[in-house]
Amino acid sequence: MQYDVIVIGSGMVGTSIAWHLQKNNAKVLVLDKKDPGEETSYGNAGLIQREAVFPKAFPRQLGEILRVLPNTSTDIRYRWSALFNYQSALYQYWVNSSLNKLTKIEDEWATLIAHCTSEHDVMIKASGADDLVRKGGWFELYRRPDKYEEAKYNAERAAKKGVQYRLLTPEELKEYEPNVNFEPFIGGIHWQNSWQVKNPSYLVKAYAKSYQQMQGEFQQGDVTNIAQTEDGGWQVTARVADGQSITFDSQHVVIAAGPWSNGLTKPLGYDFPLFPMRGYHQHFVETEKNHLNHSIFDAEKGYLMGPMEQGIRVTTGAEMTTMNAPKNFGQIEDVLKVAREVLPIEDAVEDEAWCGSRPCMGDMKPVIGPGYKHNNLWFAFGHAHQGFTLGPATGRLVEEMINDKPLYIDATPFSAERFKR
């Protein structure tokens, strides 16, 4: 069957792209080895982060590097195999985290974040998913005065980019969250115009259902080959559940496969500085003693606790590792020791913590736009920890590009051509 567009990837980014294209009368097929929202978009903090106007830079202060070096901190851990395998991308990450480069990157990144909640809102209303979203913001907590002062300075900077926030004392925080022990903290920030999602996977599935109700198609399968035809179209071959290989034809192809994207782009002659950052999470039974109204982020320890349909979700910071490395639960075990001092969480819902990878780029910006070696090939990946936040904004942008419409933001900073050699 001939399609207008094949989208590879059914996470928040791929699903949002497909939704926008189908809504604008394209005939779209989504290909993924799992159902929508079952990989990276399943395991996250469940936040649509309007406050995330500053991408996470590589630590450059000597004190911060020395803190991370022993590899025992709860917020960031690493494996030597990852440092070796991704040394080129990590070097670019370090270079681009210098102050003179970072300022420009922040300004460019913020143009996309500025539309995250408004673009989600369009899809939330269209898919009838209002019950999954809470619009009361979330709390970021601080233990040390120097870190809190730095955070307050950055909050003031963020306010100039449309972020709404309020500083709270531990006593004020206690009024919002009576079950939390705020004794270790000196204060916090209430990010007021960011949203919480009580089941991130279900929100992706709601968007996917809306897409399918518009006659959009989904095929579960592992993509094994992408090839351009003589007439400029594309053929995508996928291995489906019974082991059979099926080839699909389309005019356009969008690669939106998150941390797996480089495996699809390299055979086509593109080599992006993409590297994975792994995260872990586990749910705990919610009781009267640990009920939360808002997600809370222990900023210096790097973990988040949030109310989900499955229970209280506890997430770790990041682990720098390779995609297929075996799980290492040491980080989440150490996180839980700290988290239990803040909130009485006891009975785990799952026998084992979930883990998954985020697609990070060497310059902290996603790749969104056309391939520079092929016609009708499009990229949408590398959103780091903000793919869930930025899926709908990216979906709108890609749809406008494919249909040659005026773009609602300047897409030049996200172009694949910035990596052209």
Model pLDDT, residue 421: 76
- Please state, in angstroms and rounded to a whole number, the distance separating the CA atoms of residues 117 and 133: 11
Contact 54, 248 (CB under 8 A): no
Rounded mean pLDDT, 169-174: 98
Residue range 145-159, pLDDT digits in tens: 999 999 999 999 999
Q: At residue 301, what are phi and psi to the nearest 5 degrees?
A: -95, -15
Domain boundaries, given as residue ranges, for the chain: 1-57+100-133+195-273+362-421
Model pLDDT, residue 242: 84
pLDDT at residue 389 greater than cutoff 80? yes
pLDDT at residue 21 greater than cutoff 90? yes
Model pLDDT, residue 241: 84
- Kindly indicate the confidence band of residue 243, based on its pLDDT and cuts at 50, 70 and 90: confident
Place of tokens 């960031």: 76
Q: Name the average pLDDT for the chain.
A: 97
Q: What percent of the chain has pLDDT over 90?
A: 98
Model pLDDT, residue 310: 97
Residue range 311-368, pLDDT digits in tens: 999 999 999 999 999 999 999 999 999 999 999 999 999 999 999 999 999 999 999 9
Q: What percent of the chain has pLDDT over 70?
A: 100
- Kindly indicate the confidence band of residue 1, based on its pLDDT and cuts at 50, 70 and 90: confident
Residue range 51-99, pLDDT digits in tens: 999 999 999 889 999 999 999 999 999 999 999 999 999 999 999 999 9
**Assigned fold of 1-57+100-133+195-273+362-421:** FAD/NAD(P)-binding domain (3.50.50)
Model pLDDT, residue 37: 97
Instruction: Please state the pTM of the whole predicted model.
Output: 0.97
